[in-house]
Chain A
Amino acid sequence: MLKSTQDIHRIDINNRETQGAALQPCPKNLNRDLILLMASAGDSFYNILHLDELARMDTSIHRVHPLAKLLVTVAFLVAVSSFGRYDISGLLTFFFYPVTIFVLSEIPAASILKRLLLISPLIVGMGILNPLFERQTFILGGVVLSTGWITFLSILIKGALTVTAALLLVATTGMDRLARALRMLGVPRIFVLQLLLTYRYISVLTEEVARMQRAYALRAPGQRGVHTRAWGSFAGQLILRSFDRAQRVWQAMRARGFTGDYNIGEDTRFKFRDFAYLSGWIFFFAVARIFDVPGFIGSIMTWLAKH
């Protein structure tokens, strides 16, 4: 115990040293730093809390068995990602799934799409190289374009579909029920248990880091990030605190009669409705994957227009 107080003292000295470099207080910078800090701390925090809240809603989709939803999501991901680089039209049919789930589950689309926008730079970054590297061309409306643009477009569509499907799964199911589904699939108990604990403690430790960063920023104004001299002690302090916390968590769990299983106290029987949900969607994905529905509609429409 004594050791950690000494270390807290050490971190303080470090802060004062780094402060020496920029002695004059600069409230403008400080303000900006604090705002940035709060924003970054809020992000992961906000997301988890928000998705947790959405998962507690009660709609027909929320009531579907978690295992059925998990399997449908996996089937969807497999179907979407099995499309080749130049198949765009077939992919479009798959928008039917997220739109239906959005409407039925009453999940506000904005909350999921916002997250999608944050992820998209990564997908765009990988995809945008294709127009540069593919030398084949095609002609669209008199303009010669690289086939890489088609690849790029298909990557964008796939990215939007897959990320949305994963977020919708958790927003309509929640972590506890998802963990139950994982157990039913035979995922080891110890993994599911520590997954749930990790999930539970993210907000606790995030808050702790936010407090530490705020304290640090106040003592080291105008400095970007944690100084090299405090690298070890800053994160190290958090580790030591986390170890102590784990000890307390363990004692509290034992004191409350923890037997090694995490109960959510819900009916977990797989009903006919769940089976219908599962088989219905898988049938739809299979049809949409095997037949090019938009191509079919398109050729009917153009044929009608000609005659």
Chain B
Amino acid sequence: MHMADALISPAVGGTMLAATAGVAAYSAKKITYDIDEKKIPLMGVMGAFVFAAQMINFSIPGTGSSGHIGGGMLLAILLGPYAGFLTMASVLLIQALFFGDGGLLAYGCNVFNLGFFTCFVAYQLIYKRIIRKGITSKKIFVASVISAVIGLQLGAFAVVLETLLSGKTELPFGTFVMLMQPVHLAIGIGEGLITAAVVSFVWKARPEILEKAAFGEAFGNISMGKVLAGLAIAALLVGGVLSWFASSYPDGLEWSIEKTAGTAELEQPGGIHETLSKIQDKTAFLPDYSFRESEGESGGEAEAVDTEESAWPAVSAGTSVSGIVGGLLTLALTVLTGLIIGGIKRRKRKAIA
């Protein structure tokens, strides 16, 4: 479920990074005031535990295959929402940096999808409510499964929304939702069952660990209102700033819409997908090339290119060729530069030796 940088736009990535930073800052503040510092190594070691636990293959009965857990829900249950969220955030940062699982720009999206929905929504609204009046094995089971399923469903839906809003890939909304939700229902049930098994084991062996986390002895009580308000303000501020930035320096897609349709307005009542397909109808193939072609045809007029509107299939072989030639040459130039720098370095080293 990790989102990659290749599939998101800077505006979506930036907004989600800001929202994540807001929640993380609030959590860090909460922990600093409410928790004894003893919990810092516990968070660190539990973060490493998630990595280690992802190596464990749990055999899935009746399928002959095995799966592993994501761990977001488990962290929330064992550490409480604030510490759980921060720990998940550091796990995801290490995954992005060292394994390329999910990008740095998509980092905010990933922390939000995998950490916020589990720690602050599923844990807070479902798990905690079910076990409020005392912990039993049965309650742990029901609460873990339901909250893991809901947490993952919300996360999967957020992936769909973030991907569609980014507009880097063409997937009809309905198809995408039908692809993501059922798959993550199955994953969520698996995750919930394993979480339930692990939590009830911990509860039997060391009940004090769960009681501390659940009844907020050391973790303080949460005010959802404050979290949501802070989140909304951060998202609005950054969303506003970024969209202003985005429209004064439009990205490739908007830029080509602006050129062909005269407006960069993306929000239309017809829904995102409809809008996107409209845009697509109007967008010319590799816009730069097609107007260069019309330039050539109209006798090398240097200016007045912006008003040129090229019909969709009007891509002559000549322009594609110039594009491909240019691309290959750029790559060749890049490799050549690399070779030259490498050569200079080698010569320098020889001179020293």
Contacts and interface: CB of A to CB of B under 8 A. Distances in A.
Interface of A: 3-4, 7, 40-41, 44, 47-48, 51, 73-74, 77-78, 80-90, 92-93, 95-96, 99-100, 102-104, 106, 115-116, 118-119, 122-123, 126-127, 129-130, 133-134, 136-141, 147-148, 150-151, 154-156, 158-159, 162-163, 166-167, 169-170, 175, 178, 188-191, 193-202, 204-206, 208-210, 213, 223-228, 231-240, 242-243, 245-247, 249-250, 253, 260, 292-299, 301-302
18 contacts: A44-B51, A48-B98, A74-B104, A84-B283, A85-B252, A86-B286, A96-B337, A99-B334, A100-B338, A138-B315, A141-B317, A151-B169, A151-B170, A193-B40, A197-B45, A199-B48, A232-B200, A293-B326
Q: What are the 6 A-B residue pairs with the smallest beta carbon separation, nearest first?
A: A298-B326, A197-B44, A84-B252, A198-B47, A225-B66, A236-B201
Contact of B251 (A83, A106, A178, A190): A83
Contacts of A89: 286, 288-289, 323, 326-327, 330
B270 interface: no
B52 A224 contact: no
A298 B4 contact: no
Contacts of B90: 191, 194-195, 198-199
B28 interface: yes
> Which secondary structure characterizes the binding site on chain A?
helix
A3 to B, nearest CB: 6
B175 A133 contact: yes
Nearest to A120: B100
B130 interface: no
B214 to A, nearest CB: 15
A78 B94 CA distance: 20
Given A84-B252, A90-B252, A119-B100, 18 more contacts: A77-B105, A81-B6, A81-B9, A93-B330, A151-B170, A159-B4, A166-B100, A170-B97, A191-B86, A198-B91, A209-B56, A225-B56, A226-B57, A226-B59, A239-B202, A253-B41, A295-B326, A298-B327
A137 B69 CA distance: 42
A188 B31 CA distance: 11
A86 B252 contact: yes
Contact of B41 (A123, A156, A202, A246): A246
A299 B292 CA distance: 8
A85 B24 contact: no
A170 B86 CA distance: 21
Given A242-B49, A245-B45, A294-B329, A155 B7 contact: yes
B47 A197 contact: yes
A204 B48 contact: yes
Nearest to A109: B338
Contact of A240 (B94, B205, B324): B205
Nearest to A164: B100
B205 A236 contact: yes
B44 A246 contact: yes
Given A86-B256, A86-B285, A170-B97, A202 B87 contact: no
Contacts of B4: 119, 122-123, 126, 159, 162-163
B339 to A, nearest CB: 8
A201 B326 contact: no
A95 B175 CA distance: 34
A237 B104 CA distance: 33
Contacts of A297: 325-326, 329-330, 333
Interface in B81-103: 86-87, 89-91, 93-94, 96-101, 103
Interface stretch (B115-123, B190-198, B230-238): B190-198
B253 A84 contact: yes
A126 B84 CA distance: 29
Contact of A231 (B9, B193, B285): B193
Nearest to A252: B41
Contacts of A136: 280-281, 312
A220 B2 CA distance: 33
A202 B317 CA distance: 54
Contacts of B10: 78, 81-82
A235 B56 contact: yes
Given A80-B5, A194-B47, A297-B329, A240 B341 contact: no
Contact of B322 (A44, A189, A301): A301
Interface in B155-196: 167-172, 175, 193-194, 196
A223 B194 CA distance: 18
Given A188-B25, A240-B205, A301 B59 contact: no
B72 interface: no
Contact of B285 (A147, A167, A224): A147
Most chain-A Cβ atoms within 10 A of its Cβ — which of B66, B98, B254? Answer: B98
B305 interface: no
Nearest to A245: B45
Nearest to B57: A225
Interface in B43-65: 43-49, 51-53, 55-61, 64-65
A73 B47 CA distance: 25
A104 to B, nearest CB: 6
Contacts of B97: 166-167, 169-170, 175, 178
Contact of A140 (B7, B25, B171, B320): B320
Contacts of B59: 223-228
B37 interface: yes
